[in-house]
């Protein structure tokens, strides 16, 4: 046994190729060096060939064959393997084959690939297309263990059979000849038809990308390499992406907004609308900076937004390729695509919208301004204004209207509901007003008006109004579509003037008639009678007085007329006030029955004024004092000097003036309305002429009075230097 085993051992070592004696379970009994060198792992005697970490398809196939106890031979492109049953085990020889460089390279590459963890099926066949190698990737992809396919199946068994036959039919038709599956595959792959449907062991299908390489050895076809990798998920993804891309394109091209894709500001893609908006072909935008399409002053801000990943929309001034500008609204959005952060900027040209907005804004401001102006005019106006909607609801009331139509508590908003509640109005006026409003509101009339008056608690000063209502449907400038404008004009003053004028007519005719009838009476007497010289003189004096009354009266009329028209001219002279007053007092002393006291100032006072006009004031005031004190004979005239002013006062002990009349006393035609005054007679012009003259000289005139006790009129003027 010893010798035999030695012999065996030496024999083994002598052989130029690898030989080993192995037991059926794969345990190496003896092996020579070339054999050991065939295996990448550090194989030792007693190691088990079938327990190697990297089980090759060959060793796996070997173990299967050995179980059956049959001899087996297998050829690889680089070696031939023989397994010959021997005693309890096998003699295994690995005989290297002469090398074909091309095949070796391919083979080595294949081997290298077989051992890398590529997610791909690698299948090798012999020339008859019988599978000879089947890698881990193939097992994973197809679900077959290597021993199920090696030397049992051709790769065609791995294809989905229906598609395979259909494609063969198609290619046969195309080539106009019969094709074997192998030929058909070559034709198909030549044409780039790489995607095929495959079938797994569990009969499920997947789409794989196929590569097929024939392997030649010394010009002889020895087999094929097949590579298959699953692309179904990829295809699905591609389909989805294509779909999405299409959708995106369609969307991007159909929107009127410019859509720019950019990475850190560099444009990657732009749509059709971007061409229109920025006036540059989209492909010319690619590669340029987004901020080139932003007006210079705004670039820093846009860059800041890009750098800080700000995604809030903003408005900015854009710059077109031709250098013109536009207003845009930008909606930025960041998207992460394959680990890369991109920014999509959707930009809308809002120049037109902005223009319209600005126009509207201007229009709005103009309307608001107009409305403000109108409202302030309405507020400032003396009239009461009420604006209502077409149903009568109040839109606006100015202060006067509020005062006029004030109601305690919550007032109804409609004017026609408010009117009946106004207790200050007379019932008769209220019902007439409602009737007028009704015919206006129901469209029967476009304008209504009426006069009414509101009695006051003190029984005097009754307030007179004129109501005027008009439809506003064409008066859009007020800022309302339709409605009504009601104006309540306070015409109390007018009414008073009317009354005064009416009185004036009777006063004046009375005032004129009295001296005229007395004059004509005396003239008749003198014509028809023989008169004594005494009588004659008395009559003539009276006639002269009456004529003077007439002249004064007419002069007063003319004066007030001139003053009102602004034609009155004053001549300014330097004169002594004391002398003037003394002169006038003297004259009254000569003609009248009243005793006139004159209390002069302590020192001479001078004025620069129209002497004749100041004299007129003095005459008016002294004649009033005499006229309105029928039961007293005292009149006091006094000059006082205070600071730079002279105060001249005329005091009487006559009928006096009620306090309520003080305010109107100096108005033209105003006369205190009582029996005494009526009896005394007058035009109501004197005091208004006095006031006009004094105020024109920069002075003032005042009254103090008590009814039944007397009155004091005082005027004040600035004094001048003693010498002009
Ligand atoms: P006339 O005397 O012609 O009526 P005036 O303008 O001089 O007009 O006076 C206006 C009114 O003022 C008079 O009608 C009278 O009622 C009142 N009045 C003026 N002076 C006096 C006075 N000294 N005493 C009482 N009432 C006076």
Burial class (CB in 10 A: 0-12, 13-18, 19+), 661: middle
Residues in contact with ligand 1 (CB, 6 Å cut-off): 624-625, 628, 652, 654-657, 665, 670-672, 677, 682-688, 711
Under CATH, to which class is 496-559 assigned? mainly alpha
- The per-residue pLDDT for range 280-314, each reduced to its tens digit, is 998 898 889 999 999 999 999 999 999 898 888 89
In this prediction, residue 341 has a pLDDT band, given cuts at 50, 70 and 90, of confident
Q: Which residues on adjacent β-strands are paired with residue 260?
A: 270, 345
Please tell me the predicted confidence (pLDDT) of residue 477. 46
Q: Quote the CA–CA distance of 441 and 344 in Å, as a whole number.
A: 60
Query: In this structure, are residues 141 and 122 in contact, taking their beta carbons and an 8 Å threshold?
Result: no
DSSP E strands, 428-483: 447-454, 463-471
Residue 253: predicted pLDDT: 60
Predicted local confidence at residue 695, as pLDDT = 94
- Please tell me the residue having the least CA distance from ligand 1 atom 16: 672
C-alpha 77 chain-centroid distance? 81
More confident residue, 104 or 136: 136
Name beta bridge partners: 609. Answer: 573
Instruction: Please give the CATH superfamily to which domain 381-490 belongs.
Output: PAS domain (3.30.450.20)
Distance from Cα 698 to the centre of ligand 1, integer Å: 23
Distance CA 223, CA 216 (A): 7
What spacing in Å lies between the alpha carbon of 103 and ligand 1's midpoint?
A: 146
For ligand 1, atom 19, name the residue with the nearest CA: 624
Per-residue DSSP letter, 48: B
Determine which of 247-251, 565-569, 583-587 has the lowest per-residue pLDDT on average.
Answer: 247-251
Which atom of ligand 1 is nearest to 650's Cα? 23
* Confidence (pTM): 0.40
Nearest CA to ligand 1 atom 14: 671
- Domain 237-349: CATH superfamily is PAS domain (3.30.450.20)
Q: Give pLDDT tens digits for 140-182.
A: 889 999 888 888 889 999 999 999 999 999 999 988 888 888 8
DSSP output for 524-576: HHHHHS---HHHHHHHHHHHHHHHHHHHHHHHHHHHHHHHHHT------EEEE
Give distance in angstroms: CA of 706 to centre of ligand 1. 14
Contact criterion met (CB below 8 Å) for 280 and 321: yes
Measured CA to CA, the distance from residue 684 to residue 668 in angstroms comes to 6
Query: Across 595-633, where does the E strand assignment appear?
Result: 595-599, 606-609
**Class for the domain spanning 106-230:** alpha beta
d(CA 369, CA 430) in angstroms, rounded, equals 36
| Ramachandran sector of residue 287 (left: φ over 0; alpha: ψ -120 to 50; beta: rest) | left
CATH architecture of the domain 2-97 equals 2-Layer Sandwich (3.30)
Q: Give the pLDDT band of residue 122 (cuts 50, 70, 90).
A: confident
Q: How confident is the model at residue 101 (pLDDT cuts 50, 70, 90)?
A: very low
The CATH architecture of the domain made up of 569-718 is 2-Layer Sandwich (3.30)
Domains 381-490 and 569-718 share a fold: no
Q: Whole-angstrom Cα distance, residue 204 to residue 139? A: 14
Distance CA(244)–CA(233), nearest Å, equals: 16
Give per-residue pLDDT as tens, 493-544.
Answer: 888 888 877 877 777 777 788 888 889 999 998 899 888 999 889 999 989 9
Residue of minimum CA distance from atom 3 in ligand 1: 682
User: What's the sign of the alpha-carbon dihedral 412, 414, 415, 419?
Assistant: negative
Q: What is the percent of the chain where pLDDT is above 70?
A: 87
pLDDT tops 90 at residue 641: yes
What is the phi-psi region of residue 334: left when phi exceeds 0, alpha when psi lies from -120 to 50, beta otherwise? Answer: beta
Domain segments of the chain as ranges? 2-97, 106-230, 237-349, 381-490, 496-559, 569-718
Q: Identify the residue whose C-alpha is closest to ligand 1 atom 7.
A: 686
């Amino acid at each position: 046994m010893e010798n035999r085993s030695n012999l065996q051992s030496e024999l083994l070592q002598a052989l130029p190729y690898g030989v080993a004696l192995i037991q059926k379970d794969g345990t190496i009994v003896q092996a020579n060096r070339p054999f050991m060198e065939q295996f990448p792992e550090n194989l030792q005697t007693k190691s088990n060939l079938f327990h190697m970490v990297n089980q090759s398809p060959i060793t796996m196939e070997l173990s299967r064959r050995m179980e059956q106890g049959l001899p087996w031979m297998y050829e690889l492109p680089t070696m031939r393997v023989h397994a010959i049953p021997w005693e309890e085990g096998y003699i295994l020889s690995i005989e290297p084959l002469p090398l074909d460089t091309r095949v070796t390279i391919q083979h080595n590459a294949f081997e290298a690939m077989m051992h890398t963890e590529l997610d791909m099926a690698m299948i090798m066949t012999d020339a008859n297309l019988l599978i000879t190698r089947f890698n881990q990737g193939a097992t994973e992809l197809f679900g077959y263990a290597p021993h199920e396919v090696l030397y049992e199946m051709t790769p065609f068994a791995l294809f989905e059979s229906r598609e395979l036959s259909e494609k063969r039919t198609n290619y046969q038709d195309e080539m106009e000849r019969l094709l074997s599956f192998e030929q058909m595959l070559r034709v198909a792959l030549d044409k780039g038809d790489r995607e095929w449907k495959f079938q797994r062991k569990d009969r499920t299908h997947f789409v794989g990308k196929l590569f097929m390489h024939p392997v030649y050895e010394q010009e002889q076809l020895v087999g094929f390499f097949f590579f298959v990798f699953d692309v179904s998920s990829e295809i699905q993804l591609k389909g989805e992406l294509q779909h999405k891309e299409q959708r995106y394109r369609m969307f991007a091209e159909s929107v009127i907004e410019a859509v720019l894709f950019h990475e850190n500001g560099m444009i990657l893609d732009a749509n059709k609308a971007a061409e229109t908006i920025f006036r540059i072909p989209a492909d010319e935008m690619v590669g340029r900076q987004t901020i080139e399409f932003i007006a210079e002053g705004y670039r820093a801000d846009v860059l800041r937004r890009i750098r800080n990943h700000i995604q809030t929309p903003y408005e900015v001034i854009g710059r077109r390729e031709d250098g013109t500008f536009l207003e845009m609204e930008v909606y930025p959005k960041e998207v992460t695509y394959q680990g890369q952060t991109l920014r999509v900027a959707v930009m809308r040209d809002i120049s037109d919208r902005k223009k319209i907005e600005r126009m509207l804004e201007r229009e709005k401001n103009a309307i608001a301004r107009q409305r403000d102006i109108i409202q302030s005019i309405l507020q400032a106006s003396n009239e009461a204004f009420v604006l209502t909607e077409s149903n009568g609801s109040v839109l606006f009331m100015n202060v006067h209207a509020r005062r006029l139509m004030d109601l305690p508590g919550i007032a109804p908003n409609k004017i026609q509901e408010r009117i009946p509640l106004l207790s200050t109005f007379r019932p008769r006026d209220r019902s007439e007003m409602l009737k007028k409003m009704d015919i206006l509101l129901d469209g029967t009339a476009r304008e209504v008006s009426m006069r009414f008056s509101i009695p006051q608690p003190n029984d005097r000063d009754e307030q007179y109004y004129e109501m005027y209502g008009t439809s506003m449907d064409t008066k859009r400038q007020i800022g309302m579509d339709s409605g009504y404008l009601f104006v309540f004009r306070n015409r109390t003053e007018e009414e008073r003037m009317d009354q005064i004028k009416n009185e004036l007519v009777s006063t004046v005719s009375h005032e004129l008639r009295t001296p005229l009838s007395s004059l004509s009476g005396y003239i008749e007497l003198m014509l028809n009678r023989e008169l004594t010289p005494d009588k004659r003189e008395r009559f003539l004096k009276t006639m002269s007085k009456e004529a003077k009354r007439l002249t004064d009266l007419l002069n007063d009329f003319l004066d007030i007329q001139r003053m009102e028209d602004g034609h009155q001219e004053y001549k300014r002279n330097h004169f002594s006030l004391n002398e003037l007053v003394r002169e006038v007092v003297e004259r009254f002393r000569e003609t009248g029955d009243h005793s006139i006291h004159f209390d002069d100032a302590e020192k001479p006072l001078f004025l620069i004024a129209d002497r004749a006009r100041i004299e007129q004031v003095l005459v008016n005031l002294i004649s009033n004092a005499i006229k309105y004190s029928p039961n007293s004979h005292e009149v006091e005239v006094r000059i006082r000097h205070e600071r730079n002013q002279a105060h001249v006062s005329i005091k009487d002990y006559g009928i006096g003036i009620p306090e309520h009349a003080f305010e109107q006393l100096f108005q033209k035609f105003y006369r205190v309305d009582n029996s005494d005054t009526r009896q005394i007679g007058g035009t109501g012009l004197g005091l208004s002429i006095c006031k006009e003259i004094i105020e024109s000289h920069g002075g003032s005139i005042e009254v103090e009075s008590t009814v039944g006790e007397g009155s004091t009129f005082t005027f004040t003027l600035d004094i001048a230097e003693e010498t002009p």
